[in-house]
Chain A
Amino acid sequence: MKRAFAAAAVLVTLAVVSLLIGASDVSWRALFAPEPDERALQVLVISRLPRMFAVMLAGTSLGVAGLIMQMIARNRFVEPTTAGTAESASLGLLTATLLAPGLPVLGKMMVATVFALAGTALFLLVLRRIPLRSALIVPVVGLILGGIIDSATTFFAYRYDLLQTVNAWTTGDFSTVLRGRYELLWVTLGLTCAAYTAADRFTVAGMGETFTTNLGLNYPRIVALGLLIVSLVTAMVVVTVGMIPFLGLIVPNLVSMVMGDNARRSIPWVAVSGAAFVLLCDIVGRVVGHPYEIPGGTIAGVIGSVLFLYLLLKRGARVG
């Protein structure tokens, strides 16, 4: 209970700080003066609140997506960016941009989802063929697969001079979030809730196919559900704000170090910590070069890679 209060306090503080920082002046004084500054109020409603929601939604859903992937792949170092999911979504988006440039955002997102699904399924297929499933081999396979997909993306993007456009999808950046331009992300909240209701199934699936089947559950169906959630979340985040690296890896790991591996118990914590982590990254990105911005995804990459190394090198890391 105490921990829940502390977490809520941290999250709320970060959210409030996120509302007050940016290129324009939106201070307490401007908002709560006897005659509130109308410009400040406008910025709050048009830009700051949507940005805060977008950040929290992306953090929450990517964290939970990472957790689900880790259970399905039965490996702690797997998440959308270390299993080829994000790269596949990006390739899908590029394909849609090249072949059907007029497609609305929703259409592009569907294409990206299909690609993300295919890429993740391919990853799991490859995993099945690998006899030695040592903890480190699995993410290495994912990174190699992601690298191959990414090189295809880079090749076509280079050919058609879309490298900078692709770059926009691969680095999460919340600077363009405004009212009316991020609402798609609310769907990820629904997906996170769906993941929560199926939490127990994912916990069981995390113990392996035989175990799951012995309990009378349909293992392939659980895997399919998990894949669908992960792919949809990844595609939505990539389309609206771009990818945030390592998030789905470090957040579930840090949470499970404290909370253990019961998904029903850890999903709310992963959700809250994910949101807090991205809020922090986005705030740092806005403060470092004020009033200009460094993409939150870049900051997440820096912090995330350090934490990733820590988790890898930590003695007695629980693996497998």
Chain B
Amino acid sequence: MLARQHEHKAPQKRALQWLGKQLFNREDPAAFFDPLLEQLNPMWVQEYTPARVERILQETADTRTLVLKPARHWSGFEAGQHVNICTEIDGVRHQRTFSLSSSPALWHAQGRITLTIKRLPGGRVTNWIHDELETGAVIGLGEAFGDFQLPAQATPLLFLAGGSGITPILSMLETLTAAGASAPAALLYCVRTEKDVIAREKLEAMAARHPNLTLTVIATNATDSPRYLTEADLASVPGLQDREIYMCGPGGLMDLALASLDALGVDAQRVHKTFFAAPGAASLDGTDLGGTVRFAKSELEVSSEGDANLLDMAEAAGLSPSYGCRMGICHQCSCKKTSGTVINRLTGKASGPGEENVQLCISVPQGPVTIEV
């Protein structure tokens, strides 16, 4: 499942791990006992952080919030970060990345966290969470990650959310209001219809308690003609130029917002975004993409036209490297590249030619590449 991070190992711990490797032939010796511990109490598993589903709240017709209690050794998070969860569906483990929707304060006070998850059409995991997952079940949790985080000092803020992109922003808003932040904060929340507003009561209660928080809901499909986010919506935010802007939502909304902000002369450095939707296929149209990829450990060679990522190519060649989100977030598919250059599809940047770790799911070869798969 999800590997725990052992970054700062104490010498005794290193010695124990050395001994564990001698005795059990594995990097994480504690996990040798997992198959038995899992039977006794699934919360005792060591290989990953188990988290019990304590409650499930229905937010909207297609969104629910899971209240989770992770095992004590989980390291916590910062508002705006996301986390990998691991579920087992029909014998197959699946990993997906979701933003944490609760504030870190809740974790510190009660040891609880929440994930707010929307059902995606055809989504294997989100539909399972909506249809099969029940209170009392235990799922796997990874450590939190992501740099979509609030500024260290009080600064005027603008949050721009689309649909279920509200989740990391919920965590941020709760953190700000709990701390009694003095700087003004505005939320522009785009939804299809009023019925799709997630956590409406919570948002309204926060806005009522904190006069320096303003809340604007834009329902795009409320009438026959769609009403999209406009430059005027953004321009109406007082002191827009001086605000740090946090946005999370579907690609279309993000593009629209970025263009409008640019037109309004907002410094791009002030804009923070986090991933929401998977990057489209073949988003790079360089003619120099593609090349022969050698999967060194399995001694397989395949050539590519530049339209496929390394993960797809490896799978098409019959290999089964581990993977998770398939959108460049979770790093489960990170593998060692020993030679050649790959282009990161998300950033459009080229890697160095030498040995480094690359994410298979978002890497496209540029010339011959060797990967340790």
A and B bound?
no
Residues of B at the A interface (CB closer than 8 Å) are none
